[in-house]
């Protein structure tokens, strides 16, 4: 995984609550176990509307998405996180997230930031100003900074924070312990049949 330390950029204002995983990546695109190529199908059904926010040129290349409460509800498909990261979205800001989606996002390098609804509204209003209103997400300091300098602190599990900062997935965390695993294996008795 690519480490996540800080991110400064344009944010996509998605004024919607209960954005479910079928909206993020419709089921018809789940015919792959590859993590790449799904970004082009991100919000595919909503993007049929030419006025949908991701179709607007001022949000091309955005790496931050701001939405309403309960992002990632619905099915537990990991493809939703894969589609976000493949599209280039590294951070999703919302008042709340579905548990499984939040875990999948963290395991795949997408930072879910839960902030109070009022803070999300302020950030959404900033994002609606277009590409000149850039947000700053600082995982090390655990803050999101508005273009006017106002900062909103956020909480994150310390282990997940460390994993994102170092660019480690669950396997990467295990591999940090290879010397201890090899030492254990060398000490244990051979199991005969």
Decide if 17 is inside a domain: yes
> Has residue 1 been placed in a domain?
no
The arithmetic mean of pLDDT across residues 74-88, rounded, is: 93
pLDDT digits (tens, 9 = 90+) for 137-146: 999 999 999 9
Binning pLDDT at 50, 70 and 90, where does residue 128 land?
very high
Residue 85 in any domain: the answer is: yes
pTM of the model: 0.91
Answer whether 90's CB lies under 8 Å from 106's CB. no
Number of independent structural domains in the chain: 1
Task: Determine the Cα–Cα distance for residues 44 and 28; give it in Å rounded to an integer.
Answer: 10
Give domain status of residue 100, yes or no.
Answer: yes
Crossing angle (nearest 10°) for helices 99-107 and 79-87: 50
Q: What is the mean pLDDT of residues 47-54?
A: 96
Give the structural domain span for 175: 6-187
Please compute the mean of the pLDDT values over residues 33-54 and round it to a whole number.
94
Q: Is 193 a domain residue?
A: no
Q: What's the gap between Cα 1 and its chain centre? A: 12
Instruction: Return the CATH number at 67.
Output: 3.20.19.10
Structural domain contains residue 70: yes
pLDDT at 193: 47
């Amino acid at each position: 995984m690519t480490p996540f330390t800080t991110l400064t950029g344009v944010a996509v204002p998605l004024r919607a609550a209960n954005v479910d995983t079928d909206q993020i990546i419709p089921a018809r695109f789940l015919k792959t176990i590859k993590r790449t190529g799904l970004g082009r199908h991100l919000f595919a059904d909503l993007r049929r509307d030419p006025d949908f926010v991701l179709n607007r040129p001022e949000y091309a290349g955005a790496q931050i998405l701001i939405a309403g409460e309960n992002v990632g509800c619905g099915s537990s498909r990991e493809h939703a996180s894969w589609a976000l990261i493949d599209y280039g979205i590294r951070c999703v800001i919302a008042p709340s997230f579905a548990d499984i989606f939040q875990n999948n996002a963290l395991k795949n390098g997408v930072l879910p930031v839960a902030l109070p609804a009022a803070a999300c509204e302020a950030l959404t209003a900033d994002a609606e100003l277009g590409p000149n209103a850039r947000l700053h997400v600082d995982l090390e300091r655990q803050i999101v900074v508005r273009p006017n300098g106002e900062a909103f602190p956020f909480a994150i599990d310390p282990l997940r924070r460390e994993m994102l900062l170092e660019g480690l997935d669950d396997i990467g965390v295990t591999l940090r312990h290879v010397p201890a695993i090899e030492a254990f294996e060398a000490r244990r008795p051979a199991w005969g049949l």
